[in-house]
Structure 1
Amino acid sequence: MRYIKECGQTKPNTILQLLYIRSCYASQDQLTDEDQHEIQTICLSILKNNSHLVNSTFMEGIIMGLCCTPLWRNSLEYLNNFKNEKDIKIRAYSCTIFKAFKEEEIDIGWSLIQTMYNQHEILLTSVFAAWFNLCDINKNYSYQKVLEFLRDNECIVRTHLAELIHEKYKQYGSKITTTIIKPDGRCTNCNQILKPVEITNSEFKALQESFMSRVVIGKNIFNNSSPQELNNFKDFIKNTAPYDVVVDGLNVAYAYRGKIANDSLIKIVLKILIKQKSKVLLFGRKHLVQQLGNEFNFIKRNVNIFFADDLSKDDPFLLYAAMYSGIQTKILTRDLMRGHKFLLNNSKMQNIFQKWLQKNRLILKIRPQNEVFIRNPIPYLQTTQESGKGIWHLPYEEIKEPGSWSKPNSSPDNWMCIKTLD
């Protein structure tokens, strides 16, 4: 920067200054007190003279610069005051977290990790590595803080973070084993049973209210439907609910494309539910009538049916019907509804939604010789949890390449059993 100032005819522009700040952050361990003072001066000058240009990329550069200086706490104010939290860059959070841990401002660091996760649903391996490194330096801090965070947020981690946790706990002397969880939730390694999926009546009521206000009304998610169709649907649900099962007709019809003909699968599934004497709502598009063929009249006599226009989105209708119907109503679909989870207003409500969906989503399976059966929902909690004194179970997923196969039932790819020394 000094060289630019000496050679240039004019003062370096803002873009050049921001690039300089970023380069300083990359080599922050070599910065002198004079360098830090210069960066601090540049950051404050840019903010003062360019307040009208503030956006997420601009602010990310400023925060990276401030985190090289004693004024790093100013970053907290800028993060808090940014109008659209979703636009705050991950790098802005991570830089401030790294600095907070370096300065041993533990509460600040973990509060920012929570905020970052709430906003972006991201678990940065580098952030947790910074915590582990701090624990290695200062024995007053515990590795277990990471597992507690993953437990409290009901997380399933990716392979890279799982490998880091495995490496650190192994160095620490803990016994770590890749394990298999049996259908009843029992760990084949330690024989502990994982916690059941539980949702209280009050949690479900809060979820109903949040879904209706935030997702249905707030996001106007029925945009592709006409007001008349939506009103007809609401009246239909009011008059025919509650149901035992709500079936995503189109999703089920195409669930195993190529194995069983589309028209056969949906008919087989409905006959299974009818035989079980379940009260069923079949939701689908109008062209699904053709797939039901000659059996349509039989199904119509035994199943409540609502067909929407072919342009309508299915998910909001399904969720509305199931939530209106009550806490015990099951859903038959292979859709994981991730988009609707993220539309809810906070991480607690998202976790309740995830538990409700896991507890109520039936699983469609096809055995050899094309034998179709419907499996009950997985009964155990499929998130990080402490199963006994000092025994933890950590689910983790492999990072999939675009277009690769992934499990349709959202169950984790792998489980880790950790016996800690704490």
Structure 2
Amino acid sequence: MISRIVFRQPCFKILHVATRYYAGIHQRHPVIRLSTQRLNDLKQKLAGGPIPTASEWSEIRKSILDERYFTATNVDSTVLGLCGSLDSGKSYLEYLRTKGVNMNFAMINRLLRLYRIQGCDTGQLSEQDQQDIFKLYSDIRKDTTVLDATTCEHLIGALTLTDHWRLSFELLDMIKLTGIPDSSTYSFLIRKCFLSGDSETGWKLLKEQSDNKRLPNDDVFLAWLDYSISNNRSIASDVVKMLSFTKDASIFLSKRVGTALKQLDSKTGITASDARVTDQGKCSHCKSTMASIVVQEQSFRALKDAFLQAVVIKKEIFNNTTPEELRRFQTFLNNTKPYDIVIDGLNVAFSSGNQKSPTGYAIQIAAVVKHYVQQKKRVLVIGRQHMDRWRSREMKYIRQKSFLFLTEDLSQDDPFLLYAALESGPHTDFFSRDLMRKHSFLLGDELCTVFKQWQQQHQYSLLTIKPDGKVLIRTPFQYELFAHQLPGDSKCWHVPLVEDCLKLHKLEKQTNWLCLKIDK
């Protein structure tokens, strides 16, 4: 039994670990790993086929110890990390027990991970496995009052597969002592809340997860749908609640959740169909035009006023420049604004790689400047002072046809770019491939949403420059990017779908959409 392996004294010993500053993210240490070939060989051996015998475990352990950097302290967690199944991990722990090897936290976390994998693969752990997880938790807590964040995260992942899942709340609070719980930890617990009928706590945690900039996984929303169906609730109302949350939180649902929505019985009042959306915002299924994004004048003014203090002065530029440079820039803006377009010069220069000559970089920028000058646009280019050494006719063209401001080489140019575009007015666009996420986070939740809408409306970026000098530009999608109701028809929703809901996606139109008719 696993309980005999892990919990018999003095076989089990708690080792203290250093405090982490950010839950879910390890502090930087030298990376210790096997060679790629050796790693693949062991994974293949342990992933399938019969479980190794004691002599084979001994050989595997010895072969890893023969590798550089591996010691008796880290070898066993490495082996457990390579195990492809819980049974394989238990077998290795039984081998270690016979050798009198104590378990450390790294090994415990690897074991807890195997329980999580087993639960996901089979849908449910056996009663014995659930008892073993609780016994492991109980013995750890006897010896340690406050656990490190990594162990808490792994324990939550395992406990939420058992009837003792409510013990996870105390562990969640422990994680918050030193950082923010990761996406998986929140998602495991929220899913369990929904499946156990505690929807109030589930939604409270989901709101907290969103506020902490953590993305929920598919299982959270699938569990919400299961909860609604199994409890004979109004599925239509619950789907609207879910879609409204994704809209407010600016997150995407995955194709997996989209499939679940399409499979709902029509008796629920929901009909979901696959759709495409044109660049003009027209749905291929219902032929309607989606809602346009609009940044109200009052919201724009609030964003403009807050940006200088929240991003430029307090958090960003003053870390790498001086107040004198900011004053020089403000004087420059006052003398030259407004602009139609503000261009991130180096972003354009390096858009096709950083192996070109200064002349090559200048050609890139000049081509974009020319594109807008030919449209009689008023152009500002933001660059850095080393660009002043780019002696070429293209740089001469840039200086003659646009306004050019060069920051110090160590300065961050994104805040200058955004500040100039905002100061210039609500009709000014900006040109860059950067996602600008770190700047939006500094503005707070309400203005972060306004910033993203403004960014979506006004950000252009370079696709390519053809050999004849013609510039191809990605234009912004002027319609709602996230799930939303059709203007004038609250029963019709358009929902974008992505492959991976845990990935941060660009502010651009998604390829796959659902067109939903919801009759509550």
TM-score by length of 2: 0.66
Residue identity (%): 29
Contact 1:249 1:288 in 2 (8 A): no
- Code of the residue aligned with 2:4 in structure 1: it is Y
Superposed displacement of residue 307, structure 1: 1.0
What does residue range 81-96 of structure 1 map to in structure 2 within 5 Å? 82-83=175-176, 87-96=180-189
- Partners of 1:23 and 1:362 in 2: CA distance: 46
Superposed displacement of residue 332, structure 1: 1.5
Local SS of the residue matching 1:416: strand
- Code of the residue aligned with 1:320 in structure 2: it is Y
Question: Could you list the per-position Cα deviations for residues 61-96 of structure 1 after superposition, in whole angstroms to 9, with x for gaps in the alignment?
Answer: 454566467775564465357546853133331232
- Partners of 1:351 and 1:313 in 2: CA distance: 23
- Code of the residue aligned with 1:87 in structure 2: it is I
Out of 496, 499, 513, the residue aligned to residue 395 of structure 1 is: 496
Q: What is the aligned partner in structure 2 of residue 113 from structure 1?
A: 206
Structure number with greater CO (CA < 8 Å, separation at least 6) is 1
* In the alignment, structure 1 residue 281 sits paired with structure 2 residue 377: no
Question: Could you list the per-position Cα deviations for residues 363-389 of structure 1 after superposition, in whole angstroms to 9, with x for gaps in the alignment?
Answer: 545587553266753221222212234
Q: What is the aligned partner in structure 1 of residue 405 from structure 2?
A: 306
- Partners of 1:191 and 1:268 in 2: CA distance: 38
Q: Structure 1 residues 76 and 308 mapped into 2: Cα distance closer, same or farther (>3 Å)?
A: same
- Code of the residue aligned with 2:321 in structure 1: it is S
* In the alignment, structure 1 residue 178 sits paired with structure 2 residue 277: no
- Code of the residue aligned with 1:192 in structure 2: it is S
Local SS of the residue matching 2:485: strand
Local SS of the residue matching 1:87: coil
Local SS of the residue matching 1:225: coil
Residues matched between the structures, number: 410
- Partners of 1:353 and 1:333 in 2: CA distance: 15
- Code of the residue aligned with 1:413 in structure 2: it is T
* In the alignment, structure 1 residue 60 sits paired with structure 2 residue 153: yes
Q: What is the aligned partner in structure 2 of residue 133 from structure 1?
A: 226
- Code of the residue aligned with 1:352 in structure 2: it is V
Q: Structure 1 residues 222 and 316 mapped into 2: Cα distance closer, same or farther (>3 Å)?
A: farther
Contact 2:344 2:431 in 1 (8 A): yes
Q: What root-mean-square deviation, in Å, do the aligned CA atoms of Structure 1 and Structure 2 show?
A: 4.0
Contact 2:476 2:508 in 1 (8 A): no
- Partners of 1:84 and 1:9 in 2: CA distance: 30
Q: What is the aligned partner in structure 2 of residue 250 from structure 1?
A: 346
Superposed displacement of residue 287, structure 1: 4.0
What does residue range 147-226 of structure 1 map to in structure 2 within 5 Å? 147-157=243-253, 161-173=254-266, 174-226=270-322
Local SS of the residue matching 2:496: strand
Contact 1:222 1:313 in 2 (8 A): no
- Partners of 1:6 and 1:220 in 2: CA distance: 51
Out of 408, 417, 420, the residue aligned to residue 515 of structure 2 is: 417
Contact 1:156 1:412 in 2 (8 A): no
Contact 2:281 2:290 in 1 (8 A): yes
- Partners of 1:314 and 1:351 in 2: CA distance: 22
Superposed displacement of residue 193, structure 1: 0.9
Out of 337, 340, 359, the residue aligned to residue 457 of structure 2 is: 359
Contact 1:282 1:303 in 2 (8 A): yes
- Code of the residue aligned with 2:297 in structure 1: it is N
- Partners of 2:156 and 2:498 in 1: CA distance: 32
Contact 1:247 1:283 in 2 (8 A): yes
Q: Structure 1 residues 10 and 183 mapped into 2: Cα distance closer, same or farther (>3 Å)?
A: closer
Q: What is the aligned partner in structure 1 of residue 87 from structure 2?
A: none
Local SS of the residue matching 1:307: strand
316-325 vs 209-218, which moves further: 209-218
- Partners of 1:319 and 1:88 in 2: CA distance: 31
Tell which structure's C-alpha radius of gyration is larger: 2
* In the alignment, structure 1 residue 350 sits paired with structure 2 residue 448: yes
- Code of the residue aligned with 2:231 in structure 1: it is N
Superposed displacement of residue 361, structure 1: 1.4
TM-score by length of 1: 0.79
Q: Structure 1 residues 253 and 194 mapped into 2: Cα distance closer, same or farther (>3 Å)?
A: same
Local SS of the residue matching 1:178: strand
- Partners of 2:507 and 2:195 in 1: CA distance: 41
Q: Structure 1 residues 378 and 94 mapped into 2: Cα distance closer, same or farther (>3 Å)?
A: closer
Q: Structure 1 residues 91 and 141 mapped into 2: Cα distance closer, same or farther (>3 Å)?
A: farther
- Code of the residue aligned with 1:137 in structure 2: it is S
Question: Could you list the per-position Cα deviations for residues 222-250 of structure 1 after superposition, in whole angstroms to 9, with x for gaps in the alignment?
Answer: 53435543442233234433332211112
- Code of the residue aligned with 1:411 in structure 2: it is K
- Code of the residue aligned with 2:278 in structure 1: it is K
